[in-house]
Amino acid sequence: MECQLKKLVLSVDDKIMKTALKDFEFHVRAKNLSPKTISVYGERLSYFYKYIKSNSIDFKDVDRHTIQDYILFQKERGLKDISINGQILVLRIFFKYLFEEEMIEINPAEKIPLLKTEKRIKPIISEENMQKLLSVPDKRTFTGMRNFCMLMVFYDTLIRLGELTNIRLNSIDLESGTICIFGKGRKERIVPFGASTAKYLYRFIRKYRKDIPGDVLFSTKDGRILDHRNVSRILERIGKHIGVHVNPHLIRHSAASHRAMSGMPAFLLQRLLGHTTIQMTQRYVHLVDDEKLKEAFKQYSPPSVPI
């Protein structure tokens, strides 16, 4: 499917905006952003373009008031605040790039604030239910052992769905207990996993995976890659056995929440999750209760302080 940003560039009839979008498209591609992210940028910028076009506003005349009116227009349409914030963020990125490249003299989105949204605590899979999920797959079969190992790796490493489906056999080091992962922006990072995960991965590879063609760890019996939809459906089916809704992100979110509640420091959690900034990890910090905080303090506090 053609990228939404490229489709937008082709459809725009404002010459100045077309040039700006072409440059921006090259910029985001050069940053190795995922096709999905680039398409989201294109989709949200297309909404803004349709707005200014329908209101006979030339791109060169877009200012702070234009963006504020656009936000009010979206609110009047009944769009949720969190969705409007997504559009504001893309406009900020777009106009910041144009300003830094001296394609515009003033950044009209620079001081546009995000809308205040109600902070909701996302539900998580309890540790007890996680153990129940792991008991569902039949480890005596290829499919069962594969699905069990997928759950183990998901929960133990906190990796993303796209990272899991792209694990290659040669990227796993069972002795050191690490996997080489290519995350968002195709950034490489080394992710550790525990002894129990290593044990079952070894059994899966030795007994079931070694005679299957291809180098993808989690594949079909004939070596075909499991796409995102297939993995999501597998997890949904496993969840139905114990009456729990399960999806890849929920497992990652639950695993991160369990780590935070056990007292894991935020900077370590950030590394595991592959977050680019500590702010992205802060959502889990509030889960640490006072007792866990005291335990973590004792663990990481220096043994003695010179006076």
Q: Determine whether 253 is an active site residue.
A: no
Distance between CA atoms of 287 and 261, rounded to whole angstroms? Answer: 6
* Total length of the chain: 307
What's the structural domain count of the chain?
2
The pLDDT of residue 296: 47
- Catalytic position from the list 6, 184, 271, 283: 184
Lowest-confidence pick of 69-73, 115-119, 242-246: 115-119
**Rounded distance between C-alpha atoms, residue 91 and residue 161, angstroms:** 28
Residue 108 counted as domain residue = no
Q: Is 249 a catalytic residue?
A: yes
| Cβ contacts of 256 within 8 Å, gap of 6 or more | 158, 269, 272, 273, 284
Please say if the pLDDT value at position 292 is more than 80: no
> Catalytic residue among 160, 209, 258, 259, which?
160
92 in the same domain as 131 = no
Known active-site residue 284: yes
Residue 267 lies in a domain: yes
Domain with residue 293: its CATH number is 1.10.443.10
Q: In the annotation, is 252 catalytic?
A: yes
Is 82 in the same domain as 221? no
Q: Is residue 63, in this structure, part of any structural domain at all?
A: yes
What are the tens digits of pLDDT across the range 137-146? 999 999 999 9
Is 228 annotated in the active site? no
Q: Say what the pLDDT of residue 297 is.
A: 41
Same-domain check for residues 70 and 162: no
Tell me if 170 sits within 8 A of 178, measured CB to CB: no
Q: What pLDDT is stored for residue 6 in this prediction?
A: 85
Are 42 and 6 in contact, with CB atoms under 8 Å apart?
Answer: yes
Q: Domain check: are 206 and 263 in the same one? A: yes
- 105 belongs to a structural domain: no
Q: Is residue 264 part of a domain?
A: yes
Least confident of 27-41, 162-176, 207-221: 27-41
